[in-house]
Structure formats: structure tokens, C-alpha cells
């Protein structure tokens, strides 16, 4: 019902019995519900179309095969993961044109979806089904964990006595500059700070201070500092 109000179109239904056959199905449900919803649809519907219908979900972690019960009913399966933050629906709609979308699944389904995605402004690219979990973890590192780190920074500034409005300005300016530098130079060249300089004395002393305030953050500080040093020296965070 909320989606219909937001879109200004459609008709919300109470159960699967009210659904009609269609050539394209989109399952936007929590990851843990995809398999069950696919099973429920397969039980209620028999495709009545000359061309096999396509079903796709938007999970960044699970492959298209999560909807396997539908394949047994004659569906072609795919997944489409928009690499975009959906914290606010209205702003996400405005930012969607040009968004990269990771696509995987059955070749016929992927072929049918790619021009549809392009028509609404998306830029689809192929993802390997067998490494999709790692692909999505990369998005979590890039987006979700970045957000957690910003919260951690604001908490540390507050603990250090920095006024909230000043901390917001510091956070915004540093984050904006970081994004710009990474886009222009890449992570290795954009990295600055004591770990990048190899200043272990500062890293160790500062890590101890963080650990006294926030033990988990102290451990994270040390591990990220080690990765930062490897990144600056070797161009990658992964050790030998």
C-alpha cells in the first residue's frame, strides 16, 4: 500500500490467489523471504504465455537461483542489484539515472532485462553468480561501513569535546574531500595520515587512546592502520 501511494499507480492485493499471469515479475522482499515468496507464487500460478516469464529480485547477496521453485514452473530467473543507497526513496529516485546495476542469472532473462534497465536510466553490468556474496560485501564496505565509520568519528569528536555543529562540518568536509580524492587518484594515492606516513609511534599511541575510550574501536583502529600501511606501500590491503 505504501508503494502504491508513493508510485501513484498499482493495486495492492491481499494474497497470491489474486495475482494474474504476467511476463515480468519483480520480487522486492527481504532476502530471507525470496525463496518462500517464489514458492508461493509457483504454487498459485501456471504460466499462460508463449514466452517464458521472467522473475527477478533485487538482492545484492543472493543469486537468481534463490527463486528456483519458479524455474521449475517455467520461469527464467535473474537478479538486479542497483548499487545505490535507498535511505530515502524520493532522493533515490532522483539519483537513479546513471546508477550501475549488477545483473546475473539465466541468459534469456538477463537479455530481456538489460534494455529495460537501460530505458529507465540504469547502467547494467554482469556479476558472476558464484562470487556474488563477495561482490555485495564490497558494496557494504563502500557504503554501509563507511556510514558506521562516520558515526564513530562523530562520537569520538563528541568525547573529545568538539561541539556538535563543528563536528558535522568537519565530517562533511573530510568526507567530501576523501570521495573527490579517491575518484581522482584512487585509494593508494588518496590515502593520508600517520599510518600512510609510516609513523608507528603515533599509530600505537593513538590506538591506545582510542582503546581506552572504546575497546572495539581501538581494535578496529589498529587493524585498519595495518591495512592502511600495506595499501600505501603495496597498493593493496591484503597481506601476504
C-alpha to C-alpha distance for 135 and 62, rounded to whole angstroms: 11
The span from the CA of 23 to the CA of 51, in Å, is 8
Q: Please compute the mean of the pLDDT values over residues 92-98 and round it to a whole number.
A: 94
Which of 30, 96, 27, 99 is closest to 64 using CA atoms?
A: 27
Structural contact between residues 23 and 53, judged by C-beta atoms closer than 8 angstroms: yes
The pLDDT assigned to 227 comes to 95
Average pLDDT over residues 185-213: 94
pLDDT tier for residue 111 given thresholds of 50, 70 and 90: very high
Count of C-beta atoms within a 10 Å radius of residue 102: 19
Percent of the chain with pLDDT over 90: 87
- Give CA angle at 12 (122, 45), nearest 5°: 85
Q: Quick one: which H or E segment has residue 102?
A: strand 100-105
Q: What is the pLDDT of residue 15?
A: 87
Residue with cell 585509494: 187
pTM of the model: 0.86
DSSP letter at 138 equals H
Give the pairing of strands 54-57 and 24-27. parallel
Task: For residue range 215-224, list pLDDT tens digits in order.
Answer: 999 999 999 9
Q: Across the strands, what pairs with 81? A: 102
Q: Minimum mean pLDDT among 37-46, 150-159, 171-180, 185-194: which range?
A: 37-46
Residue 199 reports pLDDT greater than 80: yes
pLDDT in tens, 3-62: 999 999 999 999 888 888 889 999 999 999 999 999 999 888 765 666 789 999 999 999
Note the pLDDT of residue 49.
61
The separation between CA 63 and the C-alpha centre of its own chain, rounded to angstroms, equals 14
pLDDT digits (tens, 9 = 90+) for 228-239: 999 999 999 998
The predicted model gives 129-135 an average pLDDT of: 95
| In the predicted structure, residue 158 carries a pLDDT above the cut 90 | yes
- Does residue 207 carry a pLDDT above 80? yes
On the question of pLDDT at 73 being above 80, the answer is yes
What are 26's strand-pairing partners?
A: 56
What is the arithmetic mean of pLDDT over 176-187?
95
- Cα-Cα-Cα-Cα dihedral of 161, 164, 170, 175, to 10°? 120
Q: d(Cα 208, Cα 110) in Å, to the nearest integer?
A: 51
Mean pLDDT of 84-112: 94
pLDDT at 182 over 80: yes
Amino acid at each position: 500500500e505504501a508503494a502504491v501511494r508513493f508510485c501513484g499507480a498499482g493495486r495492492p492485493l491481499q494474497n497470491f490467489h489474486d495475482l494474474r499471469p504476467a511476463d515480468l515479475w519483480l520480487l522486492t522482499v527481504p532476502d530471507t523471504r525470496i525463496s518462500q515468496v517464489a514458492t508461493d507464487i509457483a504454487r498459485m500460478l501456471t504460466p499462460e504465455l508463449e514466452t517464458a516469464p521472467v522473475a527477478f529480485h533485487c538482492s545484492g547477496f543472493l543469486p537468481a537461483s534463490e527463486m528456483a521453485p519458479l524455474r521449475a514452473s517455467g520461469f527464467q530467473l535473474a537478479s538486479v542489484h542497483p548499487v545505490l543507497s535507498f535511505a530515502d526513496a524520493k532522493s533515490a529516485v532522483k539519483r537513479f539515472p546513471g546508477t550501475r546495476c549488477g545483473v546475473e542469472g539465466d541468459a534469456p532473462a538477463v537479455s530481456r532485462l538489460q534494455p529495460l534497465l537501460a530505458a529507465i536510466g540504469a547502467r547494467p553490468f554482469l556479476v558472476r553468480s558464484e562470487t556474488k556474496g563477495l561482490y555485495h560485501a564490497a558494496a557494504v564496505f563502500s557504503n554501509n561501513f563507511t556510514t558506521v565509520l562516520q558515526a564513530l568519528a562523530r562520537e569520538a569528536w563528541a568525547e573529545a569535546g568538539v561541539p556538535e555543529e563543528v563536528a558535522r562540518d568537519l565530517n562533511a568536509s573530510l568526507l567530501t574531500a576523501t570521495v573527490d580524492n579517491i575518484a581522482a587518484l584512487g585509494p593508494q594515492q588518496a590515502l593520508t595520515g600517520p599510518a600512510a606516513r609510516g609513523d608507528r609511534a603515533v599509530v600505537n599511541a593513538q590506538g591506545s587512546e582510542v582503546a581506552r575510550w572504546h575497546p572495539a574501536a581501538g581494535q578496529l583502529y589498529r587493524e585498519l592502520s595495518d591495512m592502511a600501511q600495506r595499501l600505501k606501500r603495496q597498493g593493496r590491503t591484503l597481506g601476504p
